[in-house]
Structure 1
Amino acid sequence: MHELGVHLVFVTGYRRGLFTAPMLTRCEEIMRDVCASFEVDLIESNGGDDHVHLLVNIPSKVALSVLVNSLKSVSARYPRKEYDTHVRKYLWGGHFWSRSYDAGSTCGANLATVRASIQGQDRPARWGSGGTLAL
């Protein structure tokens, strides 16, 4: 069976910087579950306050567009429920994610290089009042 290595980038609606470190961790958990349901290997995940990066290996039986649609829809639904008050401060419109996404094939690239690039993202460290992490 052949697999396609893809580096995906999703940005939040209007590039609003809504992610906190715990939200990115939860988003990764959600995306790992979605990938597992498609038998897709999520190799690496990270992001900043307004985007996420994913490195995935996709089997040939999975259409990239179908995977992306599921990743974006499920990963928008749960954070809206779980972090509702926080999300509404940043996204008052209908879209959690921008309608577009970036997908780059990793063919020919050293996977360690792509992983290092994703790991090097500046994860947000947003703190609330009283020294507690803002959710």
Structure 2
Amino acid sequence: MVFVTKYRHGVLDAAMLDRCRKIMTDVCADFGAAMTEFNGEDDHVHLLVEYPPKTAVSTLVNSLKSVSARRLRSEYTDRVNRYSMHGHFWSPSYFAASASGAPLASLREYIDRQQQPAATR
């Protein structure tokens, strides 16, 4: 899955990505899913999630985006408010693809290669 920030603003820093990983891992656990990989850059995140077939991907995505946006906005208010995002953190769209035929090692390698932003000073 790939989620992009609203207007592709480069709002995410290293601390926010770490917090986002924790929040999304907890949300996945609530759905009986497992996030096996997470990485991102300043304007998007990549997730590799294994979820049960009874879970609709749209429901999982909605929870991941809404819970993470609400918590990140409340914890990093000053940083998020620097950008005029009109009350939204994530873009309303997302990318999700099935990886049933691809080796997990190659997917993990792709996600790990994302360049994380440097920590803010």
Classify the TM-score, shorter chain: over 0.9
Summarize the Cα distance change of 1:98–1:92 in structure 2 as closer, same or farther, 3 Å threshold.
Answer: closer
Match of 2:22 in 1: 29
Give the 3-state SS of the residue equivalent to 2:97 in structure 1: strand
Match of 2:41 in 1: 48
Measured on the aligned residues, the alpha-carbon RMSD in Å equals 0.9
Which whole-Å deviations, capped at 9, do the CAs of 1:58-88 have from their partners, x for residues lacking one?
1111110000000000000001000001100
Q: Shift of residue 126 of structure 1? A: 4.5
Q: What is the aligned-residue identity percentage?
A: 56
C-alpha contact 2:17 2:39 (8 A) present in aligned 1: yes
Structure 2 gaps of 5+ residues are none
Aligned residues: 121
Structure 1 runs of 4+ aligned residues shifted over 2 Å read none
Structure 1 gaps of 5+ residues are 1-7
Q: Shift of residue 94 of structure 1? A: 1.8
TM-score (norm 1): 0.87
Q: Does the alignment pair 1:57 with 2:50? A: yes
Give the 3-state SS of the residue equivalent to 1:39 in structure 2: coil
